Amino acid sequence: MAISLEPADVGKPRLYNPQETERMHELAGRELASFTSRAVAFLIDFLIAGALFSGGLVVFSSSQTVLPASVPTTRTSRSS
């Protein structure tokens, strides 16, 4: 897909130019999303992914059983 940014195109909305599939042809002539709306969508995706990752860390770390340092660990050894 080639988008030319010649001086005559400045200020005009950029339109989607389909190349091959039927779905692409359905979108022909639609205005593309602005940089701001794309950046906001990216930020929302990043926040959701971060929340899921943080939640996973909390669940994983709380499922680990760690003995406190004050509890001695004894090992039974057999001596011959």
pTM above threshold 0.75: no
Please report which residue ranges of 1-34 form alpha helices under DSSP H: 22-26
pLDDT digits (tens, 9 = 90+) for 9-65: 677 888 877 667 787 788 888 899 999 999 999 999 999 999 999 998 888 887 766
Q: Can you state the percent helix, strand and coil of the chain, rounding each to 5? A: 45, 0, 50
CB 28 within 8 A of CB 17: yes
Identity of the residue numbered 79 = S
* DSSP symbol at 47: H
* DSSP symbol at 15: B
The two structure tokens encoding residue 69: 């340092």
